Amino acid sequence: MQQKNITQLDITDVPQVYHNLKYNDGEIYFADNITSIPGLMKQFKVNFIAYVIVTRGRLSLDMNGVTHQLDTNNSLFVDRKIVIENVKHTENFSCIICAMSTDVGFGFFNKGLVQSIMHIMANPVIKLTQDEVDLMIKYHDLLVFKMDHPEMNFGRETMRDIIRCFAYDLLANINKDLEPDNDDDMLRQGDRIFRRFMLLLSENSNVNRSVKSYADELCVSPKYLTSVCRRHGDYTASEIIANAIVGRIKQLLLYSDMSIKEIATEMGFDNLSFFGKYVRKHLGLSPNNYRKANNYGK
């Protein structure tokens, strides 16, 4: 996990670093206390996305060299490839943390949340009201309750639905205070291109896997589109597209009754062989084996 003396923290490393997780399904984790993590690791890079909501006290940390201070009812978005260091907190500090793999995060992505997502990428610290924080705490408590009462837990699909609602409500709370932006002329060219790309992706993530086709529709070169994407989050255009597609494929494989052939057709693959190769490339297993490995149908 070491690279250039910076600890690389992948989503699969989370249970090793923190043993008191409130929810854990291998790709999404909820926790409510980071003060027990030894030393909070002096410097580390996260290779997943995370959201922190401060419920009491104060937290300060540096992200890519920029210091952020969070008071009670502040929230923080942590994007992939962010280097975190100098983590400090008050003695009475408590929080809710949701960490998830990037492709799962993109699986929750939809057109109505584009503005919120772009806003938090540029402004990672957001102030929430007490009622909004209370709602997030209720989602957290519901997940904990269902984990503690397996007889009332009707499977991962139900848990994912709760988490999806948590994410949508959180982003909706962020979106409510943003000014409607219907005038693209008010945005810089790169911002305008990136927003239009994300909107197109939300509409076409089931079938369109080509960077060139998105670039052609936006009247820019694939190279320029990739450079714009890198400036807005250190992702290439190809990575963003793949994350959205893989997130959707995972949802259909694990939480739908569709056959593998039906999923391949839904996702715009011409044949099962090509679909199988794509899934193995990104998930490490064939579609059927991925379902088996994740207890599909149980």
pLDDT at 111: 58
Gyration radius (Cα) of the chain, Å? 20
Domain ranges of the chain: 2-175, 189-293
Which two tokens mark 106? 């993109």
The string of pLDDT tens digits covering residues 16-45 is 777 778 888 878 888 887 766 655 667 888
Tracing tokens 């309750």 back to the chain, one arrives at 145
- Between 281 and 152, the more confident residue is 281
CATH C-level class of 2-175: mainly beta
DSSP-derived secondary structure for 209-231: --HHHHHHHHTS-HHHHHHHHHH
Nearest CA to 45 out of 23, 21, 72, 13 is that of 13
Asked if pLDDT for residue 277 goes beyond 90, the answer is: yes
Task: State pTM to two decimals.
Answer: 0.72
pLDDT interval class at 150 (50, 70, 90): confident
What is the pLDDT confidence band of residue 2, given thresholds at 50, 70 and 90?
very low
Does 189-293 carry CATH code 1.10.10.10? no
